[in-house]
Structure 1
């Protein structure tokens, strides 16, 4: 092709994205932005109520997230700046991590699927018929992934689809 389609733009150089594999997405007006952020916030709250209800969590700016491709070339200062800058000690001197999260459009970063297992299950079936990956409304549970230190999650990637985001603004 010798002509430019001008459908997909590129991130300007003054935008501080840490990964070249993270898409830059924007919409036409502030109302769409608010609707999407409200939706994401509610979905994230619902997920954390299911997986760890008492966790102290904060959002990591979307432009600061990285993918598995970035791990080999990212500097260690990235982790200190984004995950450990707000460490605090409790009254016993134990470190309290504040769990970070951000959305992801990359399924490879979010391999964990929640499932519902009926209370009637007694553990004798290898593949229980009462196992479901849908919530009470029939929708698939939200997928997520983590970055862990010593088996303890310090960051959660929370999977959203672009179609899901578009449905919210429509």
Structure 2
């Protein structure tokens, strides 16, 4: 009964994950990887089209993501190298951070649920919906803020929704 079942691997050191709490997700081939990434970036675009329609946002590489536990021990260089490397000055002299985003599978990183309130809402019965007309959930998310301004967005995904996307491929 001491056989290894090899279900879960560990992150190779060459990927240099910043966090011990970010899982490594792997797919069988490049087509599945591309489908998963296309799905994630498409959903992120929809999310930001609703939340920040006129703002440019950039993804942060998955291995560079951190969780709330990492804040207790992360070196401050992390923030300068990953979130503030592209600061710009506005005409009024204030610094402006470029907003970044990354995915998370950790619900604790995404405590906010982006819902939909019908334009016909009359103010009496709460009719907030947390699923779209096609049944997909509106996004849970969380932020890293500086002076009350979000500089980074965690966008929550479930492994199931990514698997559902992969299963739609013709050779799956």
TM-score, with length taken from structure 1: 0.91
Counterpart of 2:10?
10
Distance 2:11 2:46 in 1: 31
Alignment of 1:5-44 (within 5 A): 5-44=5-44
3-state SS, counterpart of residue 63 of structure 2: helix
* TM superposition shift of 1:121: 2.7
2:152 is aligned to: 155
1:90-169 to 2 correspondence within 5 Å?
Answer: 90-123=90-123, 125=124, 128-169=125-166
2:44 counterpart SS class: helix
**CA deviation vs aligned residue, 1:56-93 (integer Å, no higher than 9, x gap):** 21110100100011110001110111111111123343
Alpha-carbon deviation of 1:163? Answer: 0.9
User: C-alpha distance in 1, partners of 2:16/2:127?
Assistant: 46
Residues in 2 aligned to 1:121 and 1:29: alpha-carbon distance in whole angstroms: 46
1:37: Cα distance to partner?
Answer: 1.2
Q: C-alpha distance in 1, partners of 2:40/2:15?
A: 22
Q: Measure the CA separation in 1 of the matches of 2:61 and 2:98.
A: 14
SS of residue paired to 1:146: strand
Unaligned stretches of 5+ residues in structure 2: 168-172
Instruction: Report the alpha carbon displacement of residue 168 of structure 1 after superposing the two structures with TM.
Output: 1.2
Take 1:4 and 1:131, find their aligned partners in 2: how far apart are those partners?
47
In 1: Cα distance, 2:5 partner to 2:82 partner: 37
Aligned CA-pair RMSD:
1.4
| Cα shift at 1:103 | 0.8
Q: How far, CA to CA, are the matches of 1:6 and 1:135 in structure 2?
A: 38
